[in-house]
Amino acid sequence: MWILPGLMLSIAMLGCSHKPIETSPPPPVVVEVRDTPPADLLQCPTRPSGIPAGLSASIPAPVRDALIDLAGAYRSAVGQLERLINWHRPATPCGPASP
């Protein structure tokens, strides 16, 4: 017998409930800017297998020195590139596995 008046009262009381006032400021947003290079620049360099084992040859000293210089330059260039790639993509590093 009191159900209907109670229901009506509860519906009427809904109008009295405190509603939050709508305001204009948007929710704050922060975005991290990641300046990652394109994916093809982040591919690990493939190392060639080099000179086959068990070979002998006759090579004059100037050519040998040039070959040694080329080999050293290749190593340092590849090492620098791998460091650069690992800087931008630390999750899957290139190069020889850490000891």
Binding site for other proteins (CB under 8 A): 21, 23-30, 32, 47-51, 53-61, 64, 67-68, 70-72, 74-76, 78-79, 82-83, 86-87, 90, 93, 95-96, 98-99
Question: Is 94:45 a contact under the CB 8 Å cutoff?
Answer: yes
Rounded Cα gap, residues 11 and 3, in angstroms: 12
Q: At closest approach, how far in Å is the CB of 53 from other proteins?
A: 6
Nearer to other proteins, 5 or 17 (CB): 17
Determine the 3-state secondary structure of 99 from DSSP: coil
In the complex, the smallest distance separating the C-beta of residue 51 from other proteins, rounded to whole angstroms, is: 5
Q: How far apart (Å, rounded) are the C-alpha atoms in residues 50 and 12?
A: 87
Nearest-approach distance from CB 39 to other proteins, in angstroms: 19
Q: Structure tokens of 6?
A: 């109670």
Tell me the residue type at 5: P
Closer residue to other proteins in complex, CB, 38/50: 50
